[in-house]
Amino acid sequence: MKLTEVTDKKHIKEFLKVPHLIYKNDKNWICPLDSDVEAVFDPDRNAYFNHGEATRWILKDDNDKLIGRVAAFINQNKARTYEQPTGGMGFFECTDNQDAAFLMFETCRKWLQERGMEAMDGPINFGENDMFWGLLVDGYMEQSYGMNYHAPYYRKFFEDYGFYPFFEQVTNHLDVVKPFPERFWKIASRVAANPSLTFEHFTYQKADKYIADLKSVYDQAWVHHEHFTPLNIKDIQTGLEKAKPILDEELVWFVYHEGEPIAFLVMFPDINQILRHLNGKMHLLNKLKFFYYLKTHEIKRTRITVMGVVPKFQRHGIESGIFKKLREVFDRRPYYTEVELSWVGDFNLKMRALHEAVGGVLGKKHITYRKLFDPEAEKRRTKTVGPESLRMEA
């Protein structure tokens, strides 16, 4: 076998080709956009290069046939906040060949260890954890936008190599055609009737205001979270601009108490229901297809990506009031029939309870694994987060 670092356009093309070989007979796999994958490895498009580094490899067998790929990266802002300095590996794809898988794992380990790391998490992303994060171990269905899809045999590779579960991420699905539980409506109606509270959905006309409000709430809600880093305004602006073609303003909500922002929820239409027709490419013809499918309501599912409530107003049912507003939106948009509640870590007890309260049912599960380079080091899972956390992702 021959492992080659990706350094030119030919290597990039081969890196992007590997999953097509792995999943060529799997009808549930949806090819992510090539541009989304490449943006991760482009210093001009990924701000994580300002405080980190990344590299990637392709693997071929003795007959020069592609059989795998992998990437390794270090986010210096977070790596040394752990007991063991921890890097990451991801974008792992491999034929059903343990020797090949272990060779790629070892390559990532050595690369990270040479740079002072003592552990690696995987499969993760060189970026935020709302994209390309965690190993799919349950729910082999068409994934939503940004969610990893994997071959079932990958789990054995990770665990046999010595990775252990650092945390699990559960994604629940909500059938919005069905009514919410009666108890939920009582709480939601009470919250919505509170005269000191106002509810507003996002508008591009006041985008700067809402971006600032989102950052304000998020930074308060998550300041006590393990390995917390404040949101960056430019990152929010970049994400908003990227989402502009598909963002529905009435799916992003803010709550104010006497004019001060106290909560928000961000939900997007799941564009993977369109991307499944495009095979990862966004050339002119596929752009026309994209807007055709968008206009004809090909998208039936929405995905909640992030939600936050400032500590002072947690346990007040604020999130129930937001869901009441969303229920009214869905009544006006009957083509949306499902909400994906993505994705909550097993450490986030409050959000798990909320998923149950609104009638969510298990859709899929991903695991973020950790590999300690010292076999004598104690294996610890991520800490349980109390009711202050209201983020939908891990």
- What secondary structure, in 3-state letters, does the chain show? CEEEECCCHHHHHHHHHHHHHHCCCCCCCCCCCHHHHHHHCCCCCCHHHHHEEEEEEEEECCCCCEEEEEEEEEEHHHHCCCCCCEEEEEEEEECCCHHHHHHHHHHHHHHHHCCCCCEEEECCCCCCCCCCCCEEEECCCCCCCCCCCCCCCHHHHHHHHCCEEEEEEEEEEEECCCCCCHHHHHHHHHHHCCCCEEEEECCHHHHHHHHHHHHHHHHHHHCCCCCCCCCCHHHHHHHHHHHCCCCCHHHEEEEEECCEEEEEEEEEECCHHHHCCCCCCCCHHHHHHHHHHHHCCCCCEEEEEEEEECHHHCCCCHHHHHHHHHHHHHHHCCCCCEEEEEEEECCEHHHHHHHHHCCCEEEEEEEEEEEECCCCCCCCCCCCECCCCCCCCC
- Least confidently predicted of 143-152, 308-317, 351-360: 351-360
- Least confidently predicted of 110-124, 129-143, 338-352: 338-352
pTM for the predicted model, two decimal places:
0.89
- Predicted confidence (pLDDT) per residue in 278-303, tens digit: 999 999 999 999 999 999 999 999 99
- Predicted confidence (pLDDT) per residue in 185-231, tens digit: 888 889 988 999 999 999 999 999 999 999 999 999 877 666 677 88
pLDDT at 158: 98
